[in-house]
A and B are shown apart, each in its own frame.
Chain A
Amino acid sequence: MPDLTMNMESSFPAIWNDYAPSGAVFDELLTTKGEFRPHWQFLMQTLQKMGPQEFQNRKEAIHNQLQQDGVTYMVYEDSKGIENLWGLDPIPALIPSEEWGRLELGLIQRAEVLDKLLMDLYSDQQVISKRLLPPELVFANPGFLRPCSGTLSSKRALVSYAADLVRQSDGNMYVLGDRAQTPSGSGYALANRVTISRIMPSLFRDAQVHRLEPYFRTLRNSLKKSAPRETDDPFVVILSPGPGHQTYFEHAYLANYLGVFLVQGGDLVFKDQCLWFRSLKGLQKVDVLMRRVNGDYCDPLELRSDSLLGVPGMLQAVRSGNLTVINPLGAGVLQNPALSIYLPALSQYFLGEELLLPSVPTFWCGDARHRQHVLSHLDNMVIKPIYPQLAEHYVFGRNLSSAKKQQWIERIQRQPHLFVGQEQITFSTIPFWQGNRMEARHMGLRSFLVSDGRDYAVMPGGLTRVAPKMGDLVVSNHHRGFSKDTWILASEPERPVSLFSHLSYYTASVRHDRRVSYRVADNLFWLGRYAQRSESMIRWLRQVVLLRMGSQIPDDDPSVIRILQAATSRTELEWMFLEFADQKLTAPESGLRSILLDEQMTGSLSFNIKAMTRVARAVQDQLSEDIWYVCNRLNFAFSMMNDPVQVLESLNRMKIAFAALRGISTDSMSQGMGWRFWDIGRRIEWALNTMTLLHSALRDSESLPESFWEFILDMEDLHVIYRDHYSFTLNPIAILELILKNADNPRAVQTQLMILYEHISQLQSDEEETEEKQLILEALSMLKQAQLDPYSENMSPRETFNNFQYLLNDLTNRLYAFSDAITRKYLMKSEPSYQLQGEE
């Protein structure tokens, strides 16, 4: 192959000409002579053919794919959480097979040393009495959780571990930091792989890349095998702080991928020395808990008493041998940059081996000589605390003003043992597509390990992150950096296996009933309600927009007013208070805009869609990919509305998206308990919305033109069914009959009530006489008795309409009462917890 040795000048398209890494830094792609490193040659052959447009296309395709899959990362600014789309660059990071082999050995060894250290610290602390580790690093470290002493499994303490690696200018990889508390990022690495292999399938196929699947299989087996007692089907949960957490996407993604349950503290309870999951059908014992909550927050009884994220008694469940927590509570003590100084000695002590993988040179200020070195070389140091929560995670000595520098010197001198100085090294650079050119950006690699109880498996890949700006040395998602898929090149092709085929437990929807918690049921119920509420609004507002676009219809047209009144009945807009048909709408244009777009206004379309997305996110692990896809389409369609010209198109698309959502929920969800609550929410809302519209129409129905009733038929898609039943004359009472109780109309209020009754009958035994059943039966019998004969001449239309008003009121009240009763019985189970005030 002659072009394997080509150099940049001769054959690069223009975009690669800009790629000019600084000679002082190691570049992943190019040697100092400007030649491709051998392991990049295959990839570059393909990439070189791509011009700027093609790169941009790939980048956009990736962006769209990530958006569709809902891959997000929360960034906190001014304590306000902003959901950011995950950033992924099209060009992967490559590691050749031989280098990876060496790295793997080094990573496994490091994990083994840390595992033994963790075990030792929580048992007899030999490393301290043998003077292998200064006591300050343990006893002055808030990450050392004394109550956890003696609670770690003797088999394997550190089950999951991640190391942050960086390549120095000498071309070698060094460990920058250890992650043992709740190592995060493996789910993002997986999402990156799924995305890249979809967007660049042939490239990926031909490049001989190691697959990630075996790693996750080990993880899943490890979780199942960790159960404290042997059981065929251990109940494994992932404990998440909740949807507000930075990496919540990953919690839900991993839970789905591994086929385990995503829970929050409030879903669990400690009783009889075991941890239980509170499902709607009773308590279910939890065997293994993988935590994404920091250890000290996991048990407010024995650890941080002000934590609302954990479960009081969790540690006692571990202590009693009824629960395995991964990583064990207390593992955060390993997340200490000063430990790396003592690892070579610890490796000798525990394994009798020389430490293979070096760490970035680190100096612990608790040691007088080290401290001296740090203080006199502050410009070349990154200051870090020995425990993340003690201070800023890192401070670059070089960037400090002289006043700030003085403050830091004093701070270090006051409590030297709490700080380290880490040599500020320059990470390697890698090509990054900047939108119009290739930039050399600094990168770091997070590598993931999991133990199966005996051996560690390293993910053949990892999470490569690139700095947000050229020259920037911080690679972190907090700073809106980008990531790359990480390819470990195999020496020979691996059999392609679908990533999802063996492992994925993605199911159409909610799984075993016993495992639906109150929180999940509550969120699904509200998902149903907000979705239906939004859909009704879209139907109504679309009609209004269509009418106004016809432009023949003035703003004081009673039809428009009625519809807008219905649409605003749950908002603060004053339109709903218009009493007479001859009143004009105030500021119709801006009012309409706020009903659609003002997310601050309770009940606006924007508000409802946001609320719906929020509850959907809170149960993301319970929803199928399809549903999530539709939600994303919906949000995309909604965003089009910012362009006034696109409003109708946006509404049309949303209408279709909602139809799709309904289709998925009725046809492709397993009809379990979770689904039932979704559907209950939806049916309640559906009936309520229909009645709201009628209510608003009937206020002074005589003044309504015929066209209004046509709109109602339009909005409810009832033209066909109306023609079938009532020929072509428009008769308001006939329409009411159709909307309220016609058995052939799947949208009729009566149909919703009957379905609600069926749901309740499924949730409750036949003998139970409950408030919920009673309310629905009453509503149904009211409807049955209602005189709705369009051909009857017993009553004047006025009288008929008045009677309807009463009927609608009665029905509406019963539905609200029904919703309250359901909430009380099934959904409101989270009790606030308090700390008992102690005596002095």
Chain B
Amino acid sequence: MTQYQVTHQTQYQYKKEVARCHNVAHLIPRNFTHQQCLDVQISILPQANVCLDRLDYFGNQTTYFDIQDPHTSLTVTFQSTVDVKPRSLPSLEQSPNWEWVQESLRQAVSPEDWDAAQFVFESPNIPLFRELKDYAAPSFFPGRPFLEAVMDLTHRIYTDFTFDPKATTVSTPIAKVLKKRRGVCQDFTHLAIACLRSYGLAARYISGYLESIPPPGKPKLVGSDVSHAWFSAYSPSHGWVDFDPTNDLMPNQQHITTAWGRDYSDISPLKGILFGGGDHKLQVSVDVMRMNAN
């Protein structure tokens, strides 16, 4: 088991005074089989009028807060302590073929299958269109084991696409990403999910963090980390299995899961509506610190 302390700080500077703001955050790591969140400290400046936690539709921790007094900046800091358990990664070749998975989803029998049905269809940021299926096709040849096909797709996205933070924004549609062959983790994740859904397979979007490892001999810099995103694919035989197309690997103890949903729009780390304010500047810093190493 590995313990991390994650500090996620978001700062907004506004050109004009903001009269009030309402926000929803997905910034507390969720609990599930492979992970437990032990402690969370939330700091909001200026002080929030109300700050409430609840579970959202997908079972993620959601925080609502609002500020009802005029302000020109907003600083939101979430610091959480999380235990991440090791996963035993399945053998890719020994999974059932993807056609079986597709059909089993249609014939869904277990509650887990029903739940997976949420993640088969289009969602706000993931429209489905022909080019997606075309792109995914080489990975999904007939009879291929499901997990092998997904890993292959992950690998192809990693190889075919260039990581380029300047190429896209949060609102770049996947069609453009597919065409430009550039983007960031969020884009690659959306693309992979879209490919799977084009084949009637269930895939969900995961937001979280990745522990970055400094070059040998160099100390790790505080705040050098970033929010990360990857996806999970479902098979009735294996349940949900995670894949990281940005790093061409299957996540294990270095990935800390915050929330999952159909796509980014269900679980964006921090969203809000503000009154007044005009232009704003945004600065985010993330720090993932390993507390122990058993």
Instruction: Decide whether A and B are members of one complex.
Output: yes
Chain A residues close to B by CB (< 8 Å): 125, 128-129, 135-136, 139-140, 146-147, 149, 269-273, 300-302, 305, 312-313, 316, 319, 414-415, 417, 831-840
Having A139-B117, A271-B66, one finds 10 other A-B pairs with CB under 8 Å, namely A128-B114, A129-B114, A149-B57, A269-B20, A301-B23, A301-B272, A313-B66, A414-B130, A834-B275, A840-B168
Chain A interface helix/strand/loop/mixed: loop
- Bound CA–CA A833/B165 (angstroms): 28
Q: Is B227 an interface residue when CB atoms closer than 8 A count as contact?
A: yes
Chain B neighbourhood of A129, CB < 8 A: 111, 114
Chain B neighbourhood of A835, CB < 8 A: 271-273
Q: Tell whether, in the assembled complex, residue A270 and residue B270 are in contact, meaning their CB atoms are under 8 Å apart.
A: no
Smallest CB gap from A266: residue in B: B275
Within 8 A of A (CB), among B18-66: 19-24, 49-50, 54, 56-58, 64, 66
Q: Which residue in A139, A149, A831, A833 is a CB contact (below 8 Å) of B121?
A: A139
Determine how close the nearest CB of chain B comes to the CB of A330; give it in whole angstroms.
11
Determine how close the nearest CB of chain B comes to the CB of A282; give it in whole angstroms.
14
Q: Is B247 an interface residue when CB atoms closer than 8 A count as contact?
A: no
Q: Tell whether, in the assembled complex, residue A271 and residue B111 are in contact, meaning their CB atoms are under 8 Å apart.
A: no
- Bound CA–CA A94/B100 (angstroms): 58
Q: Tell whether, in the assembled complex, residue B23 and residue A836 are in contact, meaning their CB atoms are under 8 Å apart.
A: yes
Report the number of A-B residue pairs with Cβ-Cβ less than 8 Å: 101
Q: Tell whether, in the assembled complex, residue A832 and residue B275 are in contact, meaning their CB atoms are under 8 Å apart.
A: yes
Smallest CB gap from B130: residue in A: A414
Interface string of B101-139 (1 = CB under 8 A from A): 000000010010010011011100000101000000000
Chain B neighbourhood of A136, CB < 8 A: 121
Smallest CB gap from A835: residue in B: B273
- Bound CA–CA A839/B186 (angstroms): 11
Which of the listed residues A319, A415, A834 has the most CB atoms from chain B within 10 Å of its own CB? A834
The 18 sampled A-B contact pairs (Cβ below 8 Å) are: A139-B121, A146-B58, A147-B56, A147-B57, A269-B20, A271-B20, A300-B273, A301-B273, A302-B24, A316-B64, A832-B275, A834-B273, A835-B271, A835-B272, A836-B271, A838-B269, A838-B271, A840-B169
Q: Tell whether, in the assembled complex, residue B227 and residue A305 are in contact, meaning their CB atoms are under 8 Å apart.
A: no
Q: Is B280 an interface residue when CB atoms closer than 8 A count as contact?
A: yes
- Do A313 and B22 contact each other (CB < 8 Å), given the known contacts A149-B57, A838-B270? yes
Chain A neighbourhood of B117, CB < 8 A: 128, 135, 139
Q: Which residue in A147, A271, A415, A833 is a CB contact (below 8 Å) of B49?
A: A271
Determine how close the nearest CB of chain A comes to the CB of B159; give it in whole angstroms.
22
Chain B neighbourhood of A301, CB < 8 A: 22-24, 271-273
Q: Is B96 an interface residue when CB atoms closer than 8 A count as contact?
A: no
Chain A neighbourhood of B128, CB < 8 A: 415
- Bound CA–CA A140/B128 (angstroms): 12
- Bound CA–CA A147/B271 (angstroms): 14
Chain A neighbourhood of B72, CB < 8 A: none
Which of the listed residues B23, B272, B282, B284 has the most CB atoms from chain A within 10 Å of its own CB? B272
Q: Is B249 an interface residue when CB atoms closer than 8 A count as contact?
A: no
- Bound CA–CA A140/B118 (angstroms): 8
- Bound CA–CA A149/B56 (angstroms): 8
Chain A neighbourhood of B227, CB < 8 A: 839-840
- Bound CA–CA A831/B21 (angstroms): 12
Chain B neighbourhood of A146, CB < 8 A: 56-58, 266
Chain A neighbourhood of B272, CB < 8 A: 301, 835-836
Determine how close the nearest CB of chain A comes to the CB of B163; give it in whole angstroms.
12
Q: Tell whether, in the assembled complex, residue B275 and residue A840 are in contact, meaning their CB atoms are under 8 Å apart.
A: no
Determine how close the nearest CB of chain B comes to the CB of A504; give it in whole angstroms.
37
Chain A neighbourhood of B271, CB < 8 A: 301, 305, 835-836, 838
Chain A neighbourhood of B173, CB < 8 A: none
Q: Which 4 A-B pairs have the closest CB atoms?
A: A836-B272, A140-B121, A312-B273, A146-B57
Determine how close the nearest CB of chain A comes to the CB of B116; give it in whole angstroms.
10
Q: Is B10 an interface residue when CB atoms closer than 8 A count as contact?
A: yes
Chain B neighbourhood of A836, CB < 8 A: 12, 21, 23, 270-274, 280
Q: Is B222 an interface residue when CB atoms closer than 8 A count as contact?
A: no
Q: Tell whether, in the assembled complex, residue B120 and residue A139 are in contact, meaning their CB atoms are under 8 Å apart.
A: yes
Q: Tell whether, in the assembled complex, residue A312 and residue B22 are in contact, meaning their CB atoms are under 8 Å apart.
A: yes
Q: Tell whether, in the assembled complex, residue B24 and residue A270 are in contact, meaning their CB atoms are under 8 Å apart.
A: no
- Bound CA–CA A319/B24 (angstroms): 14
Smallest CB gap from A136: residue in B: B121
Smallest CB gap from B68: residue in A: A271
Q: Is B73 an interface residue when CB atoms closer than 8 A count as contact?
A: no
Which of the listed residues A301, A313, A414 has the most CB atoms from chain B within 10 Å of its own CB? A301
Chain B neighbourhood of A833, CB < 8 A: 273-275
Chain A neighbourhood of B278, CB < 8 A: 834
Chain A neighbourhood of B120, CB < 8 A: 139-140
Smallest CB gap from A140: residue in B: B121
Q: Tell whether, in the assembled complex, residue A272 and residue B273 are in contact, meaning their CB atoms are under 8 Å apart.
A: no
Q: Tell whether, in the assembled complex, residue B21 and residue A840 are in contact, meaning their CB atoms are under 8 Å apart.
A: no
Chain A neighbourhood of B118, CB < 8 A: 135, 139
Q: Is B276 an interface residue when CB atoms closer than 8 A count as contact?
A: yes
Q: Tell whether, in the assembled complex, residue A838 and residue B170 are in contact, meaning their CB atoms are under 8 Å apart.
A: yes
- Do A840 and B186 contact each other (CB < 8 Å), given the known contacts A273-B50, A313-B66, A831-B19? yes
Interface string of B265-294 (1 = CB under 8 A from A): 010111111111110101010000000000
Q: Is B184 an interface residue when CB atoms closer than 8 A count as contact?
A: yes
Q: Tell whether, in the assembled complex, residue B184 and residue A840 are in contact, meaning their CB atoms are under 8 Å apart.
A: yes
- Bound CA–CA A839/B25 (angstroms): 12
Determine how close the nearest CB of chain A comes to the CB of B117; give it in whole angstroms.
4
Q: Which residue in A273, A300, A312, A839 is a CB contact (below 8 Å) of B270?
A: A839
